[in-house]
Amino acid sequence: MKNNSIKNMVLAAMFLAIGLVLPLFTGQLQQLGNMLSPMHLPVFLCGLICSWKYGFAVGFILPIMRSMLFHRPQMYPNAVAMAFELATYGLVVGYLYGRNKYKCIKALYKSLIAAMLAGRIVWGITEVVLLGISGGTFTFSAFITGSFVNSWPGIVIQLILIPTIMVALGKAKLVPLIKRKSKE
């Protein structure tokens, strides 16, 4: 039990480090970073591999730490709103996948899509609250644009890359991932 806890802490630290560095590959171009969402990948993987607790912690810490170190994303309201969004991703994907009886691709996609939707809803609510405090507004149009229209390339990449990584780790026997037998 203790070894598993230490392993998860080390992996969570690795996912945090990847999340800090990965956005540098988008060239610090805010528009490209918003489209590809590079910080989301390690948070989803952390929730899936380490559990919802670690996914939640890494998701919350990552944007705030990145803002303090690199001044991107801007701390208020962006990094704060992203902290709640990414924490939700890590929590929901880890919780749903961890509770699923079958560790298969279907369960992975269900958990991933539910987490993506929940995280985006939390991001929208957080933006409404944060911008309301500062006297601004956050419209439904801004929510749809920020959550889905501008970020569709990142969503597609996540839906392809995360299951691919999990399958590779499953084949290497590093994570539990099985193929469900089809009903014949």
Find the CATH number of the domain harbouring 74: 1.10.1760.20
Residue 179 lies in a domain: no
Residue 184 is predicted with a pLDDT of 43
* Nearest partner of 126 among 104, 99, 147, judged by Cα: 147
Residue 23 backbone phi and psi in degrees, to 5: -65, -20
Residue 3 is predicted with a pLDDT of 76
Residue 178 lies in a domain: no
Residue 39 lies in a domain: yes
Residue 11 lies in a domain: yes
Residue 144 is predicted with a pLDDT of 84
Residue 180 lies in a domain: no
Residue 147 lies in a domain: yes
Domain count along the chain:
1
| Side chain identity at residue 170, one-letter code | G
Kindly state the tokens that stand for 34. Answer: 């918003």
Kindly state the tokens that stand for 66. Answer: 């990145």
Residue 6 lies in a domain: yes
Whole-number Å distance between alpha carbons of 61 and 76: 14
For residue 27, the 8-state DSSP code is T
Whole-number Å distance between alpha carbons of 100 and 131: 37
Residue 141 lies in a domain: yes
* Domain with 88 in it: 2-171
Residues of the chain with pLDDT under 70: 1-2, 27-34, 179-184
